[in-house]
């Protein structure tokens, strides 16, 4: 027997896509066959469920995110398998850092709590995108949390600096993304401290 669940509301940014995608993932983990129909013009659930590159979507490009958000976006953007159970299991691993075959009685509750926290964090990122402000948050060399808000700028001097940095990063593409980000964050820390 087929069950149809509709997730709809006129207001943006309330978590319709996150709810839909994670509900679909949870049902797939439960062995159900799931079909998600996304009528939103942004088609974010398509990015999350099909493995199409998130880099084509402007949403994740607007800031640097913490490790959990980055891991989630990386997982989704590199999906090459569309088997619902494997996708849901992989998503559960990314979110909880525990393989589903190693889950215990508390794991589902922990997964749901982590999923809610991730959803809230992603929603704040979306809010920042909509307001034009960006938040940079990372742990500094001394272990202190550094958080700064900034507004994007697009003047000629900034574009020259951006191009120089992009060219330099391209020259060192043999370094891991982690190494390049670490160097950039150290530079940012020295600028703002």
Burial (CB count within 10 angstroms: exposed 0-12, middle 13-18, buried 19+), residue 171: exposed
Q: Sorting pLDDT into bands at 50, 70 and 90, what band is 55?
A: very low
Q: Please, are residues 82 and 51 in contact by the beta-carbon 8 Å criterion?
A: yes
Q: Is the pLDDT of residue 111 over 80?
A: yes
Q: What pLDDT sits at residue 50? A: 61
Domain membership of residue 148 (yes or no) is no
Tokens for 66?
């913490």
The C-alpha R_g of the chain, in whole angstroms, comes to 19
pLDDT at 40: 63
| Position with higher pLDDT, 153 vs 63 | 153
pLDDT band at 62 (very low <50, low <70, confident <90, very high): very low
Establish if 121 belongs to a structural domain.
yes
Domain membership flag for residue 66 = yes
pLDDT tens column, 1-54: 677 788 777 666 667 777 887 888 778 778 888 777 776 656 667 666 665 544
pLDDT band at 59; cut points 50, 70, 90: very low
Instruction: Establish if 102 belongs to a structural domain.
Output: yes
In a domain, residue 11? The reply is no
User: Residues 134-184: pLDDT tens digits?
Assistant: 778 888 888 888 888 777 777 777 778 888 888 888 888 888 888 888 888
Query: Residue 31 sits in which domain range?
Result: 16-131
Let me know if residue 191 belongs to a domain.
no
Please count the structural domains in the chain. 1
Exposure on the CB side of residue 157, measured as CA atoms within 13 A: 0
The answer on pLDDT for 125 being more than 50 is yes
The end-to-end CA distance of the chain, in Å, is: 60
CB atoms within 10 A of CB 64: 15
Question: Does the CA dihedral 14-20-21-22 come out positive or negative?
Answer: positive
**Average pLDDT of span 50-78:** 58
Domain annotation covers residue 57: yes
Is residue 89 one of the residues assigned to a domain? yes
In this prediction the pTM is 0.36
């Amino acid at each position: 027997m087929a069950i149809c669940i509709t997730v709809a509301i006129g207001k943006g940014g309330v978590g319709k896509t996150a709810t839909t995608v994670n509900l679909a993932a949870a049902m797939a983990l439960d062995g159900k066959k799931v079909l998600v129909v996304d009528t939103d013009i942004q088609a974010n659930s398509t990015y999350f469920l099909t493995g199409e590159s998130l880099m084509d979507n402007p949403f994740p490009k607007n800031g640097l995110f913490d490790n959990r958000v980055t891991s989630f976006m990386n997982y989704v953007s590199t999906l090459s398998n569309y088997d619902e159970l494997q996708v849901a299991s992989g998503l559960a691993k990314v979110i909880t850092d525990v393989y589903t075959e190693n889950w215990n009685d508390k794991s589902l509750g922990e997964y749901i709590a982590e999923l809610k926290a991730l959803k809230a964090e992603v929603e704040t990122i979306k809010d920042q995108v909509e307001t034009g402000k960006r938040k940079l948050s990372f742990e500094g060399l001394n272990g202190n949390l550094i958080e700064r808000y900034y507004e994007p700028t697009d003047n000629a001097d900034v574009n020259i600096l951006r191009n120089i940095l992009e060219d330099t990063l391209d020259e060192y593409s043999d370094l891991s993304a982690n190494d390049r980000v670490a160097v950039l964050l150290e530079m940012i820390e020295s600028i703002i401290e």
